[in-house]
Structure 1
Amino acid sequence: MLSDIDFVRKSLETHLFFARIMKEHSFFLQLGFTPRDSNFTQQADDFRKEFDRLLGDVVALSNGVVSFRVLDSGEVITPYTLKTEMASSFYTGVRIPTELTKAEAGLMAGDLKKVNPELERRVASINQRAIDLISCLIRFKSIILADVLSCRMFTVNYPLLIDHIMREAKLYLEIIRKLQNRISIERDILEQEVFWNRIMAEHSKFIRGLLDPTENELIDVANNFSNEFDRLTQEAKAAMDRIIPPEKVTNNSLRATKAIRDFKAQGTQGLLECRIRSIIIPLLGDHTLREANHYLRLLRSFAK
């Protein structure tokens, strides 16, 4: 049973990371539809705006409440988030509310000693809103994936990417449902490593496929990361079956995630400076960087 303090803090920290991820998923989907499917474009835009509102309400409650380790991890925002939002808005004409990013940059950590009942009530309300919204987004993503796989729809997003973002939404939903029921969210370490190593492998595959064919060196690096994280995913599964020592998998995953984090940071900077030939929207670079930072924080907590 979670304490009131853990309920409030962990709920807000989860939303600070995942609500931003969901709003960006909606943005990436929005950009991918053809003119024929303008109704899907509008629905994706509506989801994006709903997650903007959710994130705004979370930010308003988070100052002095969330932990330093989360704010300092680079999973909430990075030094590139604001600039990638501005660049992506410029390229697409979609208004991205950068005021949210600026507000997050001003958040201060706090050591919560006691929870105000009103704060607890408001967090529970946000959690329920999130549960309803994430559930709807998962259904939307599943419809898109089914239509793409049955050749009823064309989108510039890979089918694997749609499946990828649906899995992330399902994880977010699982975490918030547990928190709302005051259940601990400390999932099995190896289970999390299987999930996030697969995510990192798929990021590498997406990057590889969205780079211009002339970017041979970057394509090779992305391909090597893809192979490495595929191997680490299998190692984590083997450790679950007690074939490999768990600590070995965690250490290997930590080393590889630091390396891909650096690669993503350099890539995001390269996109902003127009030094990389690709069809990667800059915000996607920052998005994958934040996910690597989130996974790094988890791995460091596992390695202690």
Structure 2
Amino acid sequence: MLSSTEFIRQSLGLHLFFARIMKEHSFFLEVSFTQKNSDLILKADTLRMEFDGLLADTIALSNGVVSCSVLQSGEVITPFTLKAEMASAYFTGINILTDLTKTEAALMCNDLMIVNPILEQRVFMLNQRAMELISTLVQFKSRILSAVISCKIFTSNYPLLIDHILREAKFYHKLIQKLQNCENMNLEMEAYKQEAFWNRIMAEHSKFIRGLLDPTENELINTANNFGNEFDKLTKEAKEAMEKTMPISKVTDDSLKATIEISKFKAQGTQGLVNCEIKSIIIPLLGDHVLREANHYLRLLKIFKKAKV
């Protein structure tokens, strides 16, 4: 059974990462619709602001509580997050709450937390609220995906991207449910599942980047394509490991090396977008968004490798 300390620490770390991811998914959906679908724009905007509230409350509970490894991983914010938000707000006219990013930059970590029953109850309630909000977002994304693939609405997002962010929301919900049940993490099983999940995510990021770059950006397109192929291979290997036909330790080692490299590529790309040095139709916040996901995965892979799974 999960200890009270780990329940609090893991819950808050999860929300610091994923609540921001979900609010940005809502933002990406919001800016992708045409005026004909103003009702969908409004719904996405409402969801975005609700996740702002969830993130704000998570930040308030996290100071002096959350693990140092989470704050130092680059999954909560990166050196580019604030500038990416400012640029994206400028391009879209949408009010992005950059104060949340500034507050997160000042968060203090603590690896020697003393259990507080009141804090534990607040975190439990935060988890319940998050699951309800995620369920609403999952329904919204499912509705959009169905409408897009049946040609009932147009969006500038790829159908695969909508499916991609739908899978991430479902994954987030599942992780919270495990925490609410105080389930101890089985590192071996978690490695199989997480590596199969995140390697596919990294492959799809590479393909989205490839498709959103200007056709003249040949070198970047080729690099993104190579990463897509590499992570497709790693996804297949992770699934083979789940079937016990390949050792998970090899997949972890290979995934770690590849994720370090794609994190560097995404960091360079995000900096290039923020500094207007890359020709593309990638909104700067998307660059920072996928960088944070790579950094999150890197932290997990280091845990799995340290445990010698």
TM range (shorter): over 0.9
Equivalent residues of 1:175, 1:185 under 8 A apart:
no
Structure 1 unmatched ranges of 5 or more: none
Q: How far apart are 1:242 and its partner, in Å?
A: 2.1
Quickly say closer, same or farther: Cα 1:97–1:185, change in 2 above 3 A: farther
Alignment deviations for residues 224-276 of structure 1 (CA, whole Å, 9 cap, x no partner): 00000000101111122222221111111000000000000000000011110
1:163 matched to which residue of 2? 163
Equivalent residues of 2:89, 2:96 under 8 A apart:
yes
1:65 matched to which residue of 2? 65
Work out the percentage of aligned pairs sharing the same amino acid. 66
Q: 1:201 aligns with which of 175, 193, 203?
A: 203
Equivalent residues of 1:23, 1:49 under 8 A apart:
yes
Residues in 1 aligned to 2:305 and 2:182: alpha-carbon distance in whole angstroms = 26
Equivalent residues of 2:75, 2:293 under 8 A apart:
yes
Equivalent residues of 1:5, 1:112 under 8 A apart:
no
1:236 matched to which residue of 2? 238
2:107 matched to which residue of 1? 107
Residues in 2 aligned to 1:87 and 1:223: alpha-carbon distance in whole angstroms = 26
Equivalent residues of 1:239, 1:249 under 8 A apart:
yes
Residues in 2 aligned to 1:10 and 1:227: alpha-carbon distance in whole angstroms = 32
1:264 matched to which residue of 2? 266
1:151 matched to which residue of 2? 151
Q: How far apart are 1:33 and its partner, in Å?
A: 0.4
Q: How far apart are 1:114 and its partner, in Å?
A: 2.5
2:213 matched to which residue of 1? 211
* 2:108 aligned partner, one-letter code: M
Alignment deviations for residues 93-128 of structure 1 (CA, whole Å, 9 cap, x no partner): 001001100010001111344322221111111111
Alignment deviations for residues 171-213 of structure 1 (CA, whole Å, 9 cap, x no partner): 1000111111212344521211110000000000000000001
2:289 matched to which residue of 1? 287
* 1:34 aligned partner, one-letter code: T
Q: How far apart are 1:36 and its partner, in Å?
A: 0.5
Residues in 1 aligned to 2:213 and 2:150: alpha-carbon distance in whole angstroms = 27
2:254 matched to which residue of 1? 252
TM-score by length of structure 1 reads: 0.98
2:81 matched to which residue of 1? 81
Equivalent residues of 1:64, 1:112 under 8 A apart:
no
SS where residue 280 of structure 2 aligns?
coil
Question: Counterparts in 2 of 1:17-28, with a 5 A limit?
Answer: 17-28=17-28
Structure 2 unmatched ranges of 5 or more: none
Equivalent residues of 2:65, 2:113 under 8 A apart:
no
1:172 matched to which residue of 2? 172
Equivalent residues of 1:64, 1:110 under 8 A apart:
yes
1:182 matched to which residue of 2? 182
SS where residue 31 of structure 2 aligns?
helix
SS where residue 188 of structure 1 aligns?
helix
SS where residue 77 of structure 1 aligns?
coil
Residues in 2 aligned to 1:300 and 1:32: alpha-carbon distance in whole angstroms = 35
Q: CA RMSD in A?
A: 0.9
Residues in 2 aligned to 1:229 and 1:17: alpha-carbon distance in whole angstroms = 22
Residues in 1 aligned to 2:115 and 2:180: alpha-carbon distance in whole angstroms = 16
The number of residue pairs the alignment matches comes to 304
Quickly say closer, same or farther: Cα 1:53–1:185, change in 2 above 3 A: farther
Residues in 2 aligned to 1:281 and 1:184: alpha-carbon distance in whole angstroms = 38
Which range is displaced more, 118-127 or 165-174? 118-127
